[in-house]
A and B are shown apart, each in its own frame.
Chain A
Amino acid sequence: QQPVQSPQAVILREGEDAVINCSSSKALYSVHWYRQKHGEAPVFLMILLKGGEQKGHDKISASFNEKKQQSSLYLTASQLSYSGTYFCGTSEGRGFQKLVFGTGTRLLVSP
């Protein structure tokens, strides 16, 4: 079942903060976050595993609440380059063949 992302869209001014949420109805093993700009490939941002392990970029932070099966991506001091569509991909177990992506959150950062 597809994870639900919220909000569907958000508009920020440069320098503002945003939080993007991803919720699943199933017990999760991992959450993968990607950003995709129009006409380009999704770019890996962060992976969070059950048990607290994380891997990602220094300027991106995220959390994974295992009890609620929710993950949040925190974008602080947003830059114009942060604009794009953010996707979470969730997995109940190991293996990318089990990765299910949400419908995305569109973020627009304006000057």
Chain B
Amino acid sequence: ETGVTQSPTHLIKTRGQQVTLRCSSQSGHNTVSWYQQALGQGPQFIFQYYREEENGRGNFPPRFSGLQFPNYSSELNVNALELDDSALYLCASSPSPGTSGTDTQYFGPGTRLTVL
């Protein structure tokens, strides 16, 4: 088991609502990356936070936003939910943004979001 935790485990929302997902990174890690994993697909990079700043963003619209706090925990916020936002949302923590060669990402258990 990694030390990465996520909450809540499951969430059901309706179209148009807003949602906040939370992630606590592993001790000693200053970088959190968020991924969306649709059913039967590999994780897709949403964005990364490094030392409280956004450090890269994938191909996701601005209604996907995030924060990182001084203790390096992080939030993912999604506004104006759409049906296609239904997915498993994973966060991964790492001791660096991946620029240190063999640094690896450790994933949390994910939050299953269902949008009705």
Contacts and interface: CB of A to CB of B under 8 A. Distances in A.
B63 interface: no
Contacts of B66: none
Interface stretch (A61-69, A76-84, A92-100): A92-100
Interface in B93-116: 94, 97-99, 101-102, 104-110
Interface residues of B, number: 31
Nearest to A43: B107
A40 interface: yes
B45 A40 contact: no
A109 to B, nearest CB: 20
Interface of B: 2, 4, 31, 33, 40-45, 47-48, 55-58, 90, 92, 94, 97-99, 101-102, 104-110
Interface of A: 2, 32, 34, 40-44, 47, 49, 53, 55, 87, 89, 91, 94-104
